Structure 1
Amino acid sequence: MNKARSKGWFPYLNGIFLTAISFTMTAPLIHLLAVSLSLPEYANAKLVGLWPRGMQFDVYESIFRLDTIWRALTVSVIITVGGTLITLLLCSLFAYTLTRAGMPARKLILKLIVITFVFPVPLIPSYLLVKELGMVNSLWSLMIPGAMSAFYVLIVKTFFEGIPGELLESAKIDGSGEFGIYARIVMPLSLPVLSTIALFQAVNQWNSYFAATIYIRSKDLYPMQVLLRNLIVENGANTGMGDFQLSTQFTPEMMKAGIVLVATVPILIVYPVLQKHFVKGAMLGSLKE
C-alpha cells in the first residue's frame, strides 16, 4: 500500500519539479518581453519584473522599421535554410555510401570519421582553406565549412542500416540504381532522423555568430546573431552596427530586449513543427538491434 501510495505521489512531484525547471528557462524571455513592452521610465529604473508596467508596442514598430534588422534577418534565414539543406544532402549521401557493402575502404573511412571527434579542424587551417576557395565575405563561408558533421553522419548511417536490406535488393532487381534507391526509398523512409538532424542544424545555424565574425567583412552580410552580439557585448547602440540607430524615445535596455526576442522567436516557431519527429528520430538513429 505504501509503495502504491508513493507511486501515486511521484507523477505530481515530478510534474512540479519539471514545471519549476521549465520556468527557470522561460523566465528570462518573459522578463525581456516585459521590459520591451513597459513604459521607458519603468524600464530605465529597472522596476520591471515578469509583467510589463504600462503597455506599449512602439519598440517593435521601431525595430521593424530598421533596414539593418531586415537585412540581418534575411541573411539568417538564408544561411539557416540553405545550410540545413546542404547538411542534410551531404550527410545523407555520405551515410548512404557507408552502408553499402561494396564501398572500398569503408572501415578505414569510419575510423577516420571517429578521429574527427578527438581532433577537430584548427581555426587557422580552416580559415586558409575558406580563403583559398574564395568564400571569404560570402554567405557560402557560413554554410559550407560546417555542413559535414561526423556526429550527423553516424546517426544517419545507423538509421539507414535499420532499413530492411530486402527492400533495397528488390528495388535493385526492378532496375533501380543506387541513386534511385537513395532518392525514392531511403530518403522517404528516413524522415524522422532527417527531421532530427534538420532541427539540430537549423538551431546551430541560426545561433552561430563566430564564423561570421571571422569570414564576413561587409556589415550588410551580418546575420542576426552578429548584430545582436555587437549590440549587447559592446554595450552600445551605435558601435559596430553600421546604420543601426536607436530611437531616443526608448531606453537601450528596451531595444535590446526587443531585438533579443525578435532574434529568438523564429527558431522557437520551427521547433514545434519538427518536434513530432524529434524523439522518434533520435531513438531510431541512436539504437541498432
Structure 2
Amino acid sequence: MKESKQYKIFKVFNVSILIIIVFCTLYPFLNVIAQSFSSEAYINAGKVTLFPRGFNIDTYKTIAQDSMFWINYKNTVVYTVVGTAISMFLTTIFAYALSKKRLVGRKFLTFFAVFTMFFNGGLVPNYVLINSLGFGNSIWAIVIPGAISVYNMLIMKSFFENMPEELEEAASIDGLNTYGILLKIVLPLSKAVIATMILFYAVGHWNSWFPAFLYLDQKELFPVTMYLRNMIAGVTGATSAGASSADNLTQISANIKSVTMVLTILPILTIYPFVQKYFVSGVMLGSVK
C-alpha cells in the first residue's frame, strides 16, 4: 500500500523523537565509560563527554592487582547464583500454591504476603533476628532474608492463574501428581516469566551491598559491591588497593566512581541481551492479565 504524506511525516517525527530518547538514555552511560578511561586533569576540568580524554587505565590496574577484589568478586558470583536459585525455588512453589483456588487459607496467605510489602519489623529487629539464627558472617545472611520478593511472587501467581486448567486436568488423568504437573507441564510453559524473575533476582543480588554491610565483618566474605563501596567512601582507601604514588592516588580519586560503575554493571549488560525477549513478555503476561 502507498503511504500517505501524513503517515510519512509521522514516521519521520516518530523516529526523530525515538533517536533523541535513545541518545538521552545512552549518554550518561557512555559518559561514565569515557570517564573511567580518562585522566584526572580532563575529568576535573569537565572536558570528558562521549569519548575518553587523556587515555588512562591506572585505576583499572590498581583494582585488578588487588587480590581482595577478585575474592570479593567470586563471593558476589556465589551469592548471586545461590541466592537466585533459592529465591526462584521458594517464589515458584509459593506462587504456584497460591494460584490454586482450592488451596485452604489461600486468601489469608495472600494477604499475609502482601502485608509484608508495606510493614516490616525494622532494621534493629531484623539485625537481632539474623544474628540470633546464627546467620552472621555467613552466606545465609545475604541470601535468606530477602529470598522471596512479594512483587515477583504476585507476577508469577498471576501468570500461573491464567494457564489453561485443562492442561493440568489432562496431566492429572494421565497419572501425574501435583509435583509432576508443576515440573513437567507448568514450568516448561513458563519460560518467559521464569527468565524474567531470574533477571530480577540476579540483578538484585548482584547490586546488593547493604545486607553485607550489616551482617558481615570479615573482608574475605564481602561481595564486590562492598569492596567498591569502601573504595569510593575511602574506608579502604586507594593505598590499601595498591596505589604506590601520589599521582596514582589522585588519578584513582578522580575516576573511581566511574570505574566501579563499569565493573559492577558489565556482567549484567553481558547477560541481559539473552533474556531481554523473555523480560518483556514475562512481565506483560504476568501482570496485565
Query: What is the TM-score of this pair, normalised by structure 2?
Result: 0.87
1:281 equivalent to 2:278? Answer: no
Residues 113 and 150 in structure 1, CA contact (< 8 A), matched pair in contact too: yes
Q: Which AA in structure 1 matches 2:259?
A: G
Partner of 1:174: 174
Give 1:238 deviation, angstroms. Answer: 3.6
Partner of 1:192: 192
Structure 2 CA distance, aligned partners of 1:237 and 1:102? 54
Structure 2 CA distance, aligned partners of 1:6 and 1:208? 49
Structure 2 CA distance, aligned partners of 1:238 and 1:155? 41
114-123 or 38-47, which deviates more: 38-47
Identity %: 39
**Structure 1 unaligned regions, length at least 5:** none
CA gap of 1:242–1:169, structure 2 versus 1, over 3 A, is farther
Structure 2 CA distance, aligned partners of 1:132 and 1:268? 38
Residues 35 and 48 in structure 2, CA contact (< 8 A), matched pair in contact too: yes
Q: Where does 1:1-289 land on structure 2 (aligned, <5 Å)? A: 5-43=5-43, 45-232=45-232, 234=233, 236=234, 238-239=236-237, 243-248=240-245, 249-250=247-248, 251=251, 252-288=253-289
Residues 84 and 198 in structure 2, CA contact (< 8 A), matched pair in contact too: yes
SS in 2 for 1:190: helix
251-260 or 212-221, which deviates more: 251-260
1:55-108 Cα distance to aligned partner (Å, 9 max, x none): 344543433222122122111111122211111110110011112343211121
Give 1:212 deviation, angstroms. Answer: 1.3
RMSD: 2.4
Residues 63 and 255 in structure 1, CA contact (< 8 A), matched pair in contact too: no
Give 1:274 deviation, angstroms. Answer: 0.9
54-63 or 187-196, which deviates more: 54-63
Structure 1 CA distance, aligned partners of 2:235 and 2:35? 17
Q: Which AA in structure 2 matches 1:262?
A: L
CA gap of 1:109–1:39, structure 2 versus 1, over 3 A, is closer
1:145-172 Cα distance to aligned partner (Å, 9 max, x none): 1111211111111111122111111211
Question: What is the total number of aligned residue pairs between the two structures?
Answer: 283
SS in 1 for 2:125: helix
1:168-197 Cα distance to aligned partner (Å, 9 max, x none): 112112221111111111111111011111
Give 1:40 deviation, angstroms. Answer: 4.9
1:251-275 Cα distance to aligned partner (Å, 9 max, x none): 1223443232111111111211110
CA gap of 1:242–1:185, structure 2 versus 1, over 3 A, is farther
Structure 2 CA distance, aligned partners of 1:224 and 1:20? 35
Give 1:110 deviation, angstroms. Answer: 1.4
SS in 1 for 2:141: helix
Residues 68 and 243 in structure 1, CA contact (< 8 A), matched pair in contact too: no
Structure 1 CA distance, aligned partners of 2:112 and 2:20? 43
Give 1:244 deviation, angstroms. Answer: 2.4
1:99-124 Cα distance to aligned partner (Å, 9 max, x none): 23432111211122222232234222
Give 1:215 deviation, angstroms. Answer: 1.1
Give 1:34 deviation, angstroms. Answer: 2.0
Give 1:218 deviation, angstroms. Answer: 0.9
**Structure 2 unaligned regions, length at least 5:** none
129-138 or 98-107, which deviates more: 98-107
Residues 168 and 181 in structure 1, CA contact (< 8 A), matched pair in contact too: yes
Q: Which AA in structure 1 matches 2:118?
A: V
Give 1:284 deviation, angstroms. Answer: 0.8
Structure 2 CA distance, aligned partners of 1:129 and 1:242? 36
11-20 or 106-115, which deviates more: 11-20
Q: Which AA in structure 1 matches 2:287?
A: S
SS in 2 for 1:146: coil
